[in-house]
Amino acid sequence: MTADAADATGDGDLPVVELDNVEIVYDRHFLAVQGVSMSADEGDIVALLGPNGAGKSTILKMISGIGRSERGEVTRGRVLYRGENVTNDGANEMVGRGITHILEGRRVFEDLTVEENLRCGLYREGRRFRFDEDDYQIAFEYFPQLEDIMDLKAGYASGGQQQMLVIARALIHRPNLLLLDEPSLGLAPKLVRDIFETLVEINRREDITMLIADQNAKRTLGIADYGYVMENGQIELHDPADELVQREEIKEFYLGTSGEDSRYTDVRHYKIRKRWT
């Protein structure tokens, strides 16, 4: 929905997604997330940062509804989508609302070609078997490289091409809200830079709100409007991204001093060392 359309429906000022004091439990007893309140406004890119196990993926999964199939449950608080209470709604309903989740680990269908993988993106509209080349145009517009490898089995594509493919496939859904889990994982710095620049372009031109969970704090805050930092299932810090990068604890612990692409885990070790020295 464009900003104008949102205004016309009267929900222009509501966040696209909002978590209100949310607690998430797996298997009825494992407390993964507690007391989390956060939101993403229309058209924003929001960064969700933190180390392994902090709870970033869990939050994305409960927003997209996928968490339910992993025996995750919001046991306290509420998840709102454009003001509507969608707490514990399933993945089908969330896809129907225009939420697309790009899971960690570049989940391509390895035995299908790049084209067949893209075609899966039409599923939302029930057009899995009826497609037309125009449907791919949005994919090629942002990732022209894909046009040259349409017949390649996705399993043989490089890590960068697979990441482009999963983002392109998500774009074919024409989402309102795109959830990205670790898009920089395992990619060379130059590729991460290119992909993040493309995400900004997509955000601006397609008016897609994005929530990006990543450990590459510098890159992610570099493109984000707002950032949240998680540890042990809770939000430790949050601020507009340009203010967050200036904060001492972020500079010291989350961005490190060893180079622009240092990841949280590198500085986490530093933080632990520092505690004991």
Ligand X SMILES: Nc1ncnc2c1ncn2[C@@H]1O[C@H](COP(=O)(O)OP(=O)(O)OP(=O)(O)O)[C@@H](O)[C@H]1O
Interacting residue ranges for ligand X, rule: CB under 6 A: 26-27, 30, 32, 50, 52-58, 70, 104
Q: How far is the CB of 52 from ligand X (least distance, A)?
A: 4
Nearer to ligand X (CB atom), residue 61 or residue 82: 61
Q: How far is the CB of 26 from ligand X (least distance, A)?
A: 3
Task: Tell me the β-bridge partners of 73.
Answer: 25
CA distances from 113 to 5, 30, 52, 150, 155 (A): 36, 39, 32, 7, 8
Q: How far is the CB of 88 from ligand X (least distance, A)?
A: 15
Q: How far is the CB of 163 from ligand X (least distance, A)?
A: 16
Nearer to ligand X (CB atom), residue 55 or residue 183: 55
Across 174-244, the runs of DSSP E, i.e. the strands, are 177-181, 209-214, 226-231, 234-240
Compute the distance between CA of residue 28 and CA of residue 50 in angstroms, rounded to an integer. Answer: 24
Is residue 108 a contact partner of residue 166, using CB atoms and an 8 Å limit? yes
Q: How far is the CB of 17 from ligand X (least distance, A)?
A: 17
Q: C-alpha 52: how far from its chain's center?
A: 15
Structure tokens, 56:
């970033």
Q: How far is the CB of 190 from ligand X (least distance, A)?
A: 22
Is residue 13 a contact partner of residue 83, using CB atoms and an 8 Å limit? no
Nearer to ligand X (CB atom), residue 67 or residue 256: 67
Task: Tell me the β-bridge partners of 79.
Answer: 19
Three-class SS string for 7-34?
Answer: HHCCCCCCCCEEEEEEEEEECCCEEEEE
Q: How far is the CB of 151 from ligand X (least distance, A)?
A: 33
What's the number of CA atoms in the CB half-sphere (13 Å) around residue 63?
34
Nearer to ligand X (CB atom), residue 152 or residue 185: 185
Nearer to ligand X (CB atom), residue 55 or residue 121: 55
Nearer to ligand X (CB atom), residue 14 or residue 54: 54
Nearer to ligand X (CB atom), residue 30 or residue 123: 30
Is residue 249 a contact partner of residue 237, using CB atoms and an 8 Å limit? yes
Q: Which three-class secondary structure state does DSSP give residue 142?
A: helix
Q: How far is the CB of 54 from ligand X (least distance, A)?
A: 4
Nearest C-alpha neighbor of 227 from the set 217, 216, 214, 240: 240
Task: Tell me the β-bridge partners of 206.
Answer: none
Is residue 183 a contact partner of residue 219, using CB atoms and an 8 Å limit? no
Nearer to ligand X (CB atom), residue 172 or residue 230: 230
